[in-house]
Each structure stands twice: as structure tokens, then as C-alpha cells.
Amino acid sequence: MRVEDAGARTWLGIALAGWAVCVWVLAMFGMGGSIDRLDDDPALRQALPSPGARGDERLGPLPQYGDIAGRPLFTEDRRPQAFVIDPMGDAGEAGNDFDYVLTSVLRTPDLQLVILQPTGGGEPLRVKQGDAPEGAPGWVLQSVEARRAVFAGPEGPRELELRVFDGVGGQSPTPMSAAVRAAAGPGMPMAVTDAGMAVVPGAVGGPQPGTPDAAGAPPGGADGMPAPSAAAQQQAAQDQVDAIRRRIEERRARLRADEMSQTRPRPTQNK
């Protein structure tokens, strides 16, 4: 590169390098070697300030302040109020307030989780093993079994049994139509599916051998009225089975959705 093509940065770098070389040469010849500390000079020392005279005692005798206790400043009637200071009171009440029902248990090789429902009603709480519910920080989930969970708290271990369905509430079963009742007859057995529905065995496939329909004689109703035709009975039974199948599929879909929502990890926020 030619000298006339050098830029400002190049000339600045050359100037710095030259200055560094000059300082190094001067240091080799003893620059800075004669610097030394001065001798102590008592005349340069400054005297410490003398402490001031001690003043009179500002606080008087204790009976002088009796009005503070007799007429408190921060009460409405300016009269003493009885109170007790317990620094652990709030924590103890929060830790002992444990009133939940065990509604679900989730056990996997990597996760032990239960779902609690407050007895008085409210949103369900998900608690992992080693954690405590939000409303009861003093109770820690110690172990999880198939139908039981053990919590350790201030009052000792407490076991919660898995709540089972008692038949109260829930979704009512699909009502059985009159045609299906007529197809069943007074002596026909009824099968119950896992969704709680009643089905007439063999109703979809037509009349069973050995029944009055199979023999060719149309059976009469219990009240003496003529029974529906075979085609009407088969159609009613088919509609009943389709309704039951839809109920079962919807129930299985809800169970799968609940399991996926329980096992899905919560998003974490990086602070």
C-alpha cells in the first residue's frame, strides 16, 4: 500500500505505536525510577476533632409516659385494647386448613400427580408429589398409591381415599323408548352397558328363535293392545343402540381429553 493511500485510521495507529515506543525507551533510561514516598512530616497531620459535651438526658422517668398506655393513639375510642401477638398464627392456620377430597390419581414412571377438590366447592387443584396445595402450604404430598394419597402436615400424616361415584348427580342415561320396552316384553332380560344403558339382547338382529315373533304369531302387549310391527321394533332398537354407541364414544373422548390435559407439562417462563 502506498503512503498517499493510507487512511486516517492507519495514521492514528502509527502515531500510537510511535508514542508507545518512545515511552518504552524513556523507561529503559530510568524514567519513573526516582519516584519515592516522602518522609513523615508531623506538621502536616490534622488534629482529630474533640467530642462535644454530653447533653442532658432526654428521656424522663417511666411514669411520665403513662398516658401513652392509658390513651392509645391509634384506637378510635383512645382506650386500651386486648390483643395477642403470635407471629406464627397466620402460618399455622394456613397450614392446618386442609379440607379436600381426592378425585383423581395419575401415576407414571416420571410423574406422580393427584387432583384434589375442596369439600366446600371450588376449582380442582393439581398437586405433584413433593408439592403442597395452594390453599394449604403446610401439607406436602408424600406418597401416591393407586387409590390413596398420603399428605404430611403439622398434625402428622393424613390419608385421602379416592372418591368413588355414589350415584348422585352425573348425566342421566338415555331413556328407553316404548318400542324397545315392547320389544323386550315382560320376560325378556335387559343388558346394561358400561355407559349405564339398557339394551335388549338380540333386538338389532330381529326376533330370537323360540319367541312368539319367530313362531309367526304377533304377540300382544301387556295391556291387551296389539304390539308394534317387527320392522318398527327393529328400527326402535337400532336407534337405541346408536344412541348408546354415541354416548360411549363421547365419554371415551372426554376421558382421553382429561388425561391429556393432566399429563401435559405446564409452560415455564424464563426470568
For residue 147, give the CATH number of its domain. Answer: 2.30.30.830
Domains in the chain, number: 2
Same domain, 200 and 257: yes
What tens digit of pLDDT does each residue of 157-214 get? 889 998 876 666 556 655 555 555 555 555 444 444 444 444 444 444 444 444 444 4
Q: Kindly state whether residue 65 falls inside one of the protein's structural domains.
A: no
Which of 102, 127, 161 is the endpoint of a domain?
A: 161
Same domain, 139 and 97: yes
Q: Kindly state whether residue 30 falls inside one of the protein's structural domains.
A: no
What tens digit of pLDDT does each residue of 10-53 get? 889 989 999 999 999 988 888 777 777 778 888 888 888 888 88
Q: Are 11 and 3 in contact (CB under 8 A)?
A: no
CA 2, CA 257: separation in Å to the nearest integer?
Answer: 77
What are the φ/ψ torsions at residue 20 (nearest 5 degrees)? -65, -40
Same domain, 96 and 154: yes
Same domain, 185 and 124: no
Q: Kindly state whether residue 29 falls inside one of the protein's structural domains.
A: no
Same domain, 185 and 257: yes
Q: What is the extent of the structural domain holding 98?
A: 89-161
Rg (CA), the chain: 45
Q: Kindly state whether residue 7 falls inside one of the protein's structural domains.
A: no
| Total-model pTM | 0.32
